[in-house]
Amino acid sequence: MAYFIVTSLLKIVGILFLVILPMVSYSVYAERRVSAFIQDRRGPNRVGPAGLFQPIADIFKLLLKEDFTPRTVNTFYYWLAPCLAMMPAIITIAVVPFGSTLFGVPMVIADINVGILYVFAIASLGVYGIVLAGWASNSKYPFLGGVRSSSQMISYELSLGLAVIPIFLLVGSLRLTSVVRYQIEHGWFIAPFIGDWMNPWKWLLAIPMLISFVVFAIAIFAETNRLPFDLPEAEQELAGGYNTEYSSMKFALFFLGEYAAMITGSAIIVTLFFGGWHLPLPSWHGGFHWVFVDGNAPGWRGVIGGLFNIATFFTKVAVLIFMFMWVRWTLPRFRYDQLMRLGWLFFFEIALVNIFIAAGILAFIRP
């Protein structure tokens, strides 16, 4: 029991302070660089080599600014909202398996059997931070931002939930580690190239999975308030939206919370569709075959394998974060009625039909 508590604490501290929080601040830096490159600019390149110390300078700037609370706000909720914006994004990562094993310890903080339900339950709490911020600020633009955010989240939560059902029809368990296990044995859901990859039924099954992936990814965009669905912020129309009245570190919590949510969303997409921490290495010793690497090998090879799995997972996450940024700097924002139309008339239906397609295919094959 004590061993479990100590390893869990180590995992929490390690993953949060060594991986997630640096990743959050560096994704802000990456966003600025990527946007600059896409717009033929250089981006921040002054602080340190290639501007790599920019996040540290930003943090100092945000900490040292005056933390101003306007007189007209509802103070309790005004203070509560930034915490509620940051917290769900971070605690969602608890159920995501970010590696195989390291020194025999499974690399997931909480391997609970309701994994994906927990993710949806916590992720939808994120809207409270925004709504409370909009309401407590006692100002019209933040209020509009809060209202928009709540209706947007409700619209896209549906397709988010429906999109993943085909996966769990196939896996038969809500535990995220078993989703990864299934993909190690049968190939990633997007591209089932492992196992008996000659089976045409498996590739047929990849079609509804691909639809699931597209719907899920777009719904994650809407959930994390990223462009093209950033109506709650909409700088041009709402003067910054729900965070207009915030300054200093409270503003930073909203700002970083958005990036933390993006990282969590990417981590879930990776786990559900791209095989999680799994990356087979090709080998030609005695005919072509895939070599499976994980942390169970004895001695230092196990440690290397475990670290390799963790690195694989976060590399996949980083690639998806780049995709988020790429889309953000390409597409314009949707109009509000377009957003609602898209959510209710297209993604909801597509996700619903997709479940039946997947179930129909599954009725003919026994995976």
Partner 1 sequence: MAITVPRPNLNWRERMYLPAIVAGLAITIKHFKNMLFGRTRVTMQYPEEKWDASLPDYYRGAPALVRDEDGRVRCVACQLCEFICPPRAIKIIPGEIPSTNRFAKVEKYPEEFDIDMIRCIFCGMCEEVCPEQAIYLRKDYAITGFTRADMVHHKEKLLEIGGVMHGVVLKWNEKK
Site residues (vs partner 1, CB under 8 A): 34, 36-42, 326-327, 329-331
Contacts of 160 (CB under 8 A, 6+ apart): 120, 216, 219, 220, 223
In terms of CB distance, is 75 or 338 closer to partner 1?
A: 338
Tokens linked to 121: 């339950």
- The least distance separating partner 1 from the CB of residue 38, rounded to whole angstroms, comes to 5
In terms of CB distance, is 61 or 341 closer to partner 1?
A: 341
In terms of CB distance, is 41 or 140 closer to partner 1?
A: 41
In terms of CB distance, is 107 or 222 closer to partner 1?
A: 222
Which residue from 243, 231, 226, 222 is spatially nearest to 142, judged by alpha carbons? 243
- The least distance separating partner 1 from the CB of residue 45, rounded to whole angstroms, comes to 8
- The least distance separating partner 1 from the CB of residue 181, rounded to whole angstroms, comes to 33
Name the pairing type of β-strands 105-106 and 281-283. Answer: unpaired
- The least distance separating partner 1 from the CB of residue 322, rounded to whole angstroms, comes to 9
Angle at CA 159, nearest 5°, toward 155 and 165?
Answer: 150
Phi and psi based region of residue 188 (left: phi greater than 0; alpha: psi -120 to 50; beta: remaining): beta
Tokens linked to 155: 């619209």
Contacts of 76 (CB under 8 A, 6+ apart): 136
- The least distance separating partner 1 from the CB of residue 100, rounded to whole angstroms, comes to 33
In terms of CB distance, is 140 or 341 closer to partner 1?
A: 341
- The least distance separating partner 1 from the CB of residue 34, rounded to whole angstroms, comes to 7
Q: Residues 122, 182: contact at Cβ < 8 Å? A: no
Which residue from 189, 187, 142, 149 is spatially nearest to 167, judged by alpha carbons? 189
In terms of CB distance, is 31 or 245 closer to partner 1?
A: 31
